[in-house]
C-alpha cells in the first residue's frame, strides 16, 4: 500500500475521532489536541516508505518531530489537554451562531478542513519521496532556517507564558496588572511572532519539496492554505482582543501584525 493511501486512512480515522469526541464532550478543541501529533505521523509514513534511508526525508521527519515536541509541551502547560481546555475562541463563535450553524461549522471547518490542512502541509514529504535526489546545500540551508524559526517560536511562546503567569499572579493577589496583553520582547516587533514562526517552519518544509523536485510542486498548497487559515484566525483573535482591551488599537497602530518589523513611529 502506498504512503499517500495510508495517510488518507489516517486522515479519515482522525476526522471521525475528533468529530465524535466533540459531540460526546461538547468541547471543540480536539483537532488542536492532535495538531502537534498527526503531522509527525504523516511525515513518518512518508519517511518510512523510503525505509528511512533517504537523507532529506529523514531530516524532514526529525524537524517535524522537534516541532511536535515543542508544540505539545507548550499546549500542555497551558492546559490544552485538560478537561475544559477548549480554545476560548470557539465559545465566542458559538455565541454568534445558531446551534445548527455551529455544528455544520464543526463538521466542515473544524473537523474536515483543519485536518485536511494537517495532511496537506506534510505533502512536500510525498514530493521528496517521489524525487529522491541527493541532499544538497539548499537542504542544509532549509534545515538551518527551520531550526532558527523553531527557536524563534520557542522564545515567543516563553515570553507570552511568562507574561500570562505574571498577570495571573497580579490578579490573584488583587493587584492591577501593569499591562493587560504582552507588548515586550518579540511582541514589540510583531503582534503575533509565534504565528509568524509557526507558518515559516511549514514554508521551510514546503521548500524541501521544491529542493527535491527542483521545481515548485503542487504540494506547496498546504503552506498556502495554512497561511490563509492563520490570516483568518489572526483577524478573529484580534477582534476579540480589541473588544476586551480598547488600548489594543494603539498596539495595532504601532506594531506589525505578523511579520517582525520595527515599530511605527509617531504612534501615541
Q: Residue 24 is placed in which grid cell?
A: 460526546
Q: Tens digit of pLDDT for each residue in 81-134? A: 988 888 888 888 998 999 999 999 999 999 999 999 999 999 999 999 999 999
| SS3 at position 264 | coil
Report d(CA 22, CA 265) in Å as an integer.
46
Identify whether 259 is part of a domain.
no
| pLDDT class of 63 with cuts at 50, 70, 90 | very high
Helix axis angle, 193-213 relative to 55-77, nearest 10°?
170
Q: Mean pLDDT across the stretch 189-218?
A: 97
Q: Mean pLDDT across the stretch 31-40?
A: 97
Q: Which domain holds residue 250?
A: 3-254
Domains held by the chain: number: 1
Identify whether 123 is part of a domain.
yes
Q: Tens digit of pLDDT for each residue in 21-32? A: 999 999 999 999
Let me know: does 74 contact 208? Beta carbons within 8 Å.
Answer: no
Identify whether 264 is part of a domain.
no
Q: How many residues does the chain have?
A: 268
Assess whether pLDDT exceeds 70 at residue 247.
yes
Report d(CA 183, CA 125) in Å as an integer.
37
Residue 266's pLDDT is 59
Q: Render the burial of 114-133: b for 16+ CB within 10 Å, e for the rest.
A: bbebbbbbbbbbbbbbbeee
Assess whether pLDDT exceeds 50 at residue 268.
no
Identify whether 262 is part of a domain.
no
Let me know: does 46 contact 56? Beta carbons within 8 Å.
Answer: no
Residues whose CB falls within 8 Å of the CB of residue 217, separated by 6 or more in sequence, listed in order? 124, 127, 209, 210
Residues whose CB falls within 8 Å of the CB of residue 69, separated by 6 or more in sequence, listed in order? 36
| SS3 at position 66 | helix
Report d(CA 96, CA 111) in Å as an integer.
19
Among 57-61, 62-66, 79-83, 146-150, name the one with the lowest average pLDDT: 79-83
Q: Mean pLDDT across the stretch 240-248?
A: 94
- Closest among 208, 223, 199 to 150, alpha carbons compared: 199
- Closest among 109, 114, 118, 111 to 41, alpha carbons compared: 118
Identify whether 267 is part of a domain.
no
**% of the chain residues with pLDDT over 70:** 99
pTM for the full predicted model? 0.94
What does 174-243 look like in DSSP terms, one character per residue? TPPPS-SS--SGGGGT-S-HHHHHHHHHHHHHHHHHHHHHTS--GGGHHHHHHHHHHHHHHHHHHHHHHH
- Closest among 4, 140, 1 to 60, alpha carbons compared: 140
Identify whether 261 is part of a domain.
no
Amino acid at each position: 500500500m502506498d504512503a499517500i493511501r495510508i495517510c488518507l486512512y489516517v486522515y479519515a480515522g482522525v476526522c471521525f475521532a475528533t468529530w465524535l469526541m466533540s459531540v460526546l464532550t461538547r468541547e471543540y478543541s480536539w483537532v488542536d489536541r492532535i495538531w502537534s501529533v498527526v503531522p509527525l505521523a504523516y511525515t513518518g509514513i512518508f519517511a518510512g516508505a523510503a525505509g528511512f534511508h533517504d537523507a532529506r526525508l529523514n531530516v524532514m521527519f526529525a524537524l517535524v518531530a522537534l516541532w511536535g515536541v515543542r508544540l505539545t509541551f507548550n499546549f500542555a502547560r497551558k492546559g490544552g489537554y485538560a478537561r475544559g481546555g477548549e480554545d476560548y475562541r470557539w465559545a465566542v463563535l458559538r455565541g454568534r451562531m445558531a446551534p445548527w450553524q455551529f455544528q455544520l461549522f464543526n463538521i466542515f471547518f473544524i473537523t474536515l478542513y483543519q485536518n485536511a490542512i494537517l495532511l496537506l502541509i506534510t505533502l512536500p514529504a510525498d514530493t521528496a519521496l517521489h524525487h529522491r535526489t541527493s541532499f544538497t546545500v539548499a537542504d542544509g540551508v532549509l534545515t538551518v532556517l527551520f531550526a532558527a524559526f523553531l527557536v524563534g517560536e520557542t522564545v515567543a511562546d516563553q515570553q507570552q507564558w511568562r507574561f500570562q503567569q505574571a498577570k495571573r499572579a497580579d490578579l490573584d493577589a488583587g493587584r492591577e496588572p501593569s499591562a493587560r496583553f504582552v507588548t515586550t520582547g518579540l511582541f514589540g516587533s510583531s503582534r503575533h511572532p509565534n504565528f509568524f514562526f509557526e507558518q515559516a517552519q511549514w514554508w521551510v518544509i514546503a521548500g524541501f519539496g521544491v529542493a527535491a523536485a527542483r521545481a515548485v510542486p503542487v504540494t506547496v498548497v498546504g503552506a498556502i492554505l495554512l497561511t490563509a487559515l492563520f490570516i483568518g484566525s489572526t483577524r478573529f483573535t484580534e477582534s476579540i482582543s480589541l473588544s476586551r482591551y480598547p488600548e489594543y488599537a494603539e498596539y495595532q497602530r504601532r506594531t506589525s501584525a505578523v511579520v517582525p518589523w520595527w515599530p511605527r513611529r509617531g504612534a501615541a
